[in-house]
Structure 1
Amino acid sequence: MKHFTKHAAFLAVLLLAGPALSETKVAPSWGPGADDAAFTRMLAASFKDKGIAKIDRLTQDETQAFCSDPEAAASPAAAERRRQIEAANLATVKWPSDGQWLGDWKEGEKIAQSGRGNTWTDKAGEPNGGNCYNCHQISPTEISYGTIGPSLLQYGALRGRDEETMKAAWAKIYNAKSANACSNMPRAGHMGILGETQIKHLMALLFDPNSPVNAKSNSAKSGPAQ
């Protein structure tokens, strides 16, 4: 009986202490040495330069570091910081050197289809693809496309080709972080993935009236492009 009484008393103490214990916030432990410095050392020890793929790709710039924090990337409290980052990225945009926005939409389609480039098996100076279909619906004849980004069908037909619209589209391709600090879209021009001529070809794919993107028969198939 005494043995039972001792256990009952012990349980009563635990029950009374329960609420207080549950309110105590304890920082999660991810194991010994699990911090940013240790993670950086692990990356440095795990990767090495090979061909044109250099380990410096693992070094985040200010924009990447900011957007790696999910709370900072979406919280209302960080809205002003996001605007600052967008302005800084907009300042990196290089506009067409000859003042011409459009190239050849057929070449643009090839670039949009290609995902090649920047791997250790590629050679320096070889043109990269844009890999645009990975995230967007573009030409109505291509049935394999991603949906991370909006459909681009009727892109130019819906917007027209005024200077402001062309400038916004160019900036989005060159450095998407200029419009959305934590956009999933790669900074194709800023990071050296695509050159000026390639961006012109993609612009033509979006805006040329003869591009399949803007064919009238597409209007019923496309949702609102953004």
Structure 2
Amino acid sequence: MKKQHAFALSALASLLVAGCATGPSTADLDQMAATVVKSSFSDKGIVKVSAIAPEDINVACTAADVAGKPLDPAVAEALQAAQLKSIKWPADGNYMGDWKAGEKLAQSGRGLTWSDKADTANGGNCYNCHQLDPKEISFGTIGPSLTGYGKTRGVIADPTSTASKAIIEYTWGKIWNAKAYNACSVMPRAVHKGIITEKQAKDLMALLLDPKSPVNN
């Protein structure tokens, strides 16, 4: 493995040096980078190399980012439509779980490392990007604050209204697969990628929408 890795790095370096005179194509660089990745990573425990395999949606977003331009709206719409099809809605129509379990989940960042067992419950890691409880003084700011999430959106006041039902469904879909609503979202596709379970998603829903949750108090 070390010899393969060294060879791949050497080949990539040679190509880059040659590029000063010949100008390697993007395809050449992509191929060499893929070789380096393939020689550097291997399945270990529950962590599989397939997790870093490129997907159309990620490739498109990366290309747009490198170009310094927003993703073409038509392309974004098509990619989002494909991701939307991956969302599974609760068969029993019940979106809500236990907000206390959801709070613990949101504040946990553990899991998904090679040393974890396959049945280890992963954390949601929500705190790393969002403020949840208004009383929190330390929280991530990559994503928007979620304080008062259900209250400010009218779900607490009238959970059966058409507007509230739309918010509830959107929230479920966002937790399941964020890229269904924003192709280049940096939010993890939590349930779609197996980071959390459907039951855990219901607990996070309760954290965001239950009137007793600290999020709404």
Give TM-score scaled by structure 1 length.
Answer: 0.78
Task: Please say if 1:154 is aligned against 2:148.
Answer: yes
Equivalent residues, number: 187
Report the equivalent of 1:132.
126
In structure 2, how many angstroms separate the alpha carbons of the residues matched to 1:56 and 1:135? Answer: 26
Q: For residues 22-53 of structure 1, what are the alpha-carbon distances to aligned partners after superposition, in whole Å with 9 as ceiling and x for unaligned?
A: xxxxxxx9434760000000001111111111
Report the equivalent of 2:74.
80
Q: Secondary structure at the match of 2:17?
A: coil
Deviation at 1:58, TM superposition (A): 1.7
Q: Percent identical across equivalent pairs?
A: 49
Deviation at 1:71, TM superposition (A): 4.3
Report the equivalent of 2:100.
106
Q: For residues 139-165 of structure 1, what are the alpha-carbon distances to aligned partners after superposition, in whole Å with 9 as ceiling and x for unaligned?
A: 123322110000000100011132111
Quick one: which of 166, 172, 180 aligns to 1:170? Answer: 172
Equivalences for residues 187-198 of structure 1 within 5 A? 187-198=189-200
Match for 1:79: what amino acid?
P
In structure 1, how many angstroms separate the alpha carbons of the residues matched to 2:208 and 2:199? Answer: 15
In structure 2, how many angstroms separate the alpha carbons of the residues matched to 1:178 and 1:73? Answer: 23
Deviation at 1:96, TM superposition (A): 1.3
Task: Please say if 1:115 is aligned against 2:97.
Answer: no
In structure 1, how many angstroms separate the alpha carbons of the residues matched to 2:67 and 2:191? Answer: 22
Q: Is the 8 A contact 1:66 1:73 kept in 2?
A: no
Match for 1:106: what amino acid?
K
Max radius of gyration: which structure? 1
In structure 1, how many angstroms separate the alpha carbons of the residues matched to 2:71 and 2:129? Answer: 29
In structure 2, how many angstroms separate the alpha carbons of the residues matched to 1:112 and 1:85? Answer: 28
Cα 1:73–1:191 shift into 2, 3 Å: farther
Quick one: which of 194, 210, 216 aligns to 1:214? Answer: 216
Equivalences for residues 194-205 of structure 1 within 5 A? 194-205=196-207
Deviation at 1:73, TM superposition (A): 8.6
Gaps of 5+ in 2: 1-14, 19-23
Match for 2:104: what amino acid?
K
Task: Please say if 1:55 is aligned against 2:57.
Answer: no
Gaps of 5+ in 1: 1-28, 216-226
Cα 1:98–1:121 shift into 2, 3 Å: same
